[in-house]
C-alpha cells in the first residue's frame, strides 16, 4: 500500500494533476525486470478481428541466480489481470522429457513483420545455458511457432557487464520494419569494440525473410560505467518505445547527445525523451528491462 501511494504521488506530481487511466496491479516478485520475467505479448488475427495473447516463457533468472520462484508466476498473473490467453511453450530436453522453454524478453527484439533479433551468446551458448539439448534449429522453431517470425537474425555477443550473458536489448534494436540501430564502440581497447564490430558486419550482410537488406544506424556507447569495481551494462539501446514517446536511458556522458540525435532520426513520429539512468544501471538494467508493453487489439482487448 505504501509503495502504491508513493507511485501515485510521483505520477500526480509529474503530471501536475490527478493521474488518470492508471491502474495498479500488485504482484510479488524477486526483482523489477518485467521484460524478462513477464510474458511477451503477441497478436492473434482471425478474419477482421485481432486479439492479444501472452506467451509465458519459463524464467530461471538467466541461468545464473537461484532466487526466481516469485518471478516464475509473473506471466500467469499478468495474463489473468489482463484477461489474456496464455501460451506456455514446451520443448523436449536432452533427456527426452517435456519441459518449458526458457527465454527472456530482453533476449529478443522483433520488427512486427516476420523478423527477430537475438544473440548466439544468449540463446546458444553453453554458459548460462537456457535450454540444454536444444540446437539453433530447435530454438528457431520455437520462436517461429510462438512469435510468428520467419527469420531469426543471429548476432554474436552482447555487451560487457551484462549479467544476462548477451541480451539483445543492450546491443541492437529494431526501430522500424527495415531499420535497426546497433551499438558500436570506437575505443579499440574497450572489450566491446570487436564484438560490436562483428555484430555490425553481420547486420550489413543480413536480409529479411523476403531477401531485403536492412538500414542499419550506428548507436554510440557511453564511457564505461563502473560501480564497486564492476562494469555495468550501460547502453542507449535499452530504450523503451511507448505510444507517444521514446524513452532513452542517458548516463551524463558526452555520447548522450549523439545517441539521442541518432534515435530522433529513427523515430520521427514521436519525441525522444532522455531519462537519467546511471543510478538505475547499478541494478544491471534500465528502461527496456523494467517494462513490458501490451499492444492494442481491434476488439478492444
For 144-187, what is each residue's pLDDT tens digit?
Answer: 999 999 999 999 999 999 999 999 999 999 999 999 999 999 99
Q: Determine the Cα angle at 173 with ends 239 and 290, to 5°.
A: 35
Instruction: Pinpoint the alpha helices (H) of the chain.
Output: 2-15, 34-37, 61-64, 74-82, 120-123, 136-147, 193-205, 256-266
Give the residue-averaged pLDDT of 272-293: 98
Instruction: Give the model's confidence band at 50: pLDDT under 50 very low, under 70 low, under 90 confident, else very high.
Output: confident
Instruction: Give the model's confidence band at 296: pLDDT under 50 very low, under 70 low, under 90 confident, else very high.
Output: confident
Instruction: Decide if pLDDT at 301 tops 60.
Output: no
What span, in angstroms and rounded, lies between the C-alpha atoms of 174 and 208?
A: 12
Question: Given this model, what pLDDT does residue 299 score?
Answer: 63
28-283 adopts what CATH topology? Answer: 3.75.10
Q: What confidence tens digit (pLDDT) does each residue in 66-123 have? A: 999 999 999 999 999 999 999 999 999 888 899 999 999 999 999 999 999 999 999 9
What span, in angstroms and rounded, lies between the C-alpha atoms of 143 and 194?
A: 28
Sign of the torsion formed by the C-alpha atoms of 203, 281, 110 and 64: positive
- 254, HSE (Cβ side, Cα atoms, 13 Å): 2
Nearest to 38 by CA among 297, 238, 288: 288
Q: In what order do the strands lie in the sheet with 115-119?
A: 109-110, 115-119, 151-155
Residue 289 annotated as catalytic? yes
Using a 10 angstrom Cβ sphere, with 0-12 exposed, 13-18 middle and 19 or more buried, the burial of residue 25 is exposed
CA distances to 72, 146, 163, 255, 296 from 234, rounded to whole Å, are 26, 30, 12, 12, 31
What span, in angstroms and rounded, lies between the C-alpha atoms of 201 and 187?
A: 17
Question: Given this model, what pLDDT does residue 29 score?
Answer: 97
Give the residue-averaged pLDDT of 30-38: 98
- The domain spans of the chain are 28-283
Instruction: Give the model's confidence band at 200: pLDDT under 50 very low, under 70 low, under 90 confident, else very high.
Output: very high
Instruction: Give the model's confidence band at 8: pLDDT under 50 very low, under 70 low, under 90 confident, else very high.
Output: confident
Question: Given this model, what pLDDT does residue 21 score?
Answer: 77
Choose, from 115, 122, 183, 289, the residue flagged as catalytic.
289
Name the maximum alpha-carbon separation found in the chain.
Answer: 58
What residues contact 144, with CB distance under 8 A and at least 6 apart?
150, 152
Question: Given this model, what pLDDT does residue 17 score?
Answer: 63
Beta strand residue intervals within 40-159, DSSP E: 40-46, 49-55, 85-87, 90-92, 98-100, 109-110, 115-119, 151-155
Sign of the torsion formed by the C-alpha atoms of 94, 134, 40 and 164: positive
What span, in angstroms and rounded, lies between the C-alpha atoms of 76 and 85?
A: 9
Question: Given this model, what pLDDT does residue 213 score?
Answer: 99
What span, in angstroms and rounded, lies between the C-alpha atoms of 154 and 136?
A: 10
Residue 76 near residue 38, CB atoms below 8 Å: no
CA distances to 3, 6, 193, 236, 275 from 171, rounded to whole Å, are 32, 33, 12, 9, 18
Amino acid at each position: 500500500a505504501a509503495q502504491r501511494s508513493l507511485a501515485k504521488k510521483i505520477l500526480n506530481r509529474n503530471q501536475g494533476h490527478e493521474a488518470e487511466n492508471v491502474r495498479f496491479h500488485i504482484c510479488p516478485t524477486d526483482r523489477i525486470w518485467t521484460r524478462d520475467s513477464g510474458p511477451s505479448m503477441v497478436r492473434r488475427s482471425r478474419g477482421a478481428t485481432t486479439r492479444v495473447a501472452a506467451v509465458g516463457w519459463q524464467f530461471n533468472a538467466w541461468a545464473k541466480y537461484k532466487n526466481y520462484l516469485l518471478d516464475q508466476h509473473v506471466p500467469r498473473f499478468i495474463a489473468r489481470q489482463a484477461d489474456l490467453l496464455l501460451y506456455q511453450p514446451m520443448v523436449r530436453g536432452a533427456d527426452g522429457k517435456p519441459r518449458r522453454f526458457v527465454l527472456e524478453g530482453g533476449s529478443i527484439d522483433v520488427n512486427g513483420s516476420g523478423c527477430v533479433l537475438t544473440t548466439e551468446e544468449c540463446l546458444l551458448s553453453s554458459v548460462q545455458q537456457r535450454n540444454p539439448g536444444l540446437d539453433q534449429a530447435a530454438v528457431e522453431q520455437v520462436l517461429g511457432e510462438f512469435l510468428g517470425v520467419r527469420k531469426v537474425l543471429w548476432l554474436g555477443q552482447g555487451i560487457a557487464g551484462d549479467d544476462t550473458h548477451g541480451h539483445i536489448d543492450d546491443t541492437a534494436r529494431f526501430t522500424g520494419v527495415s531499420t535497426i540501430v546497433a551499438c558500436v564502440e570506437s575505443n579499440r581497447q574497450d572489450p566491446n569494440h570487436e564484438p560490436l564490430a562483428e555484430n555490425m558486419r553481420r547486420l550489413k550482410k543480413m536480409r529479411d525473410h523476403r531477401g531485403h537488406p536492412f538500414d542499419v544506424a550506428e548507436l554510440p556507447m557511453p564511457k564505461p560505467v563502473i560501480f564497486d569495481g564492476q562494469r555495468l551494462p550501460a547502453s542507449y539501446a535499452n530504450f523503451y518505445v511507448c505510444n507517444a514517446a521514446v524513452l532513452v536511458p542517458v548516463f551524463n556522458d558526452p555520447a548522450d547527445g549523439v545517441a539521442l540525435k541518432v534515435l530522433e532520426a529513427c523515430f520521427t513520429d514521436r519525441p525522444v525523451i532522455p531519462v537519467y539512468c546511471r543510478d538505475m544501471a547499478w541494478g544491471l538494467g534500465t528502461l527496456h528491462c523494467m517494462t513490458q508493453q501490451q499492444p492494442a487489439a481491434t476488439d478492444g482487448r
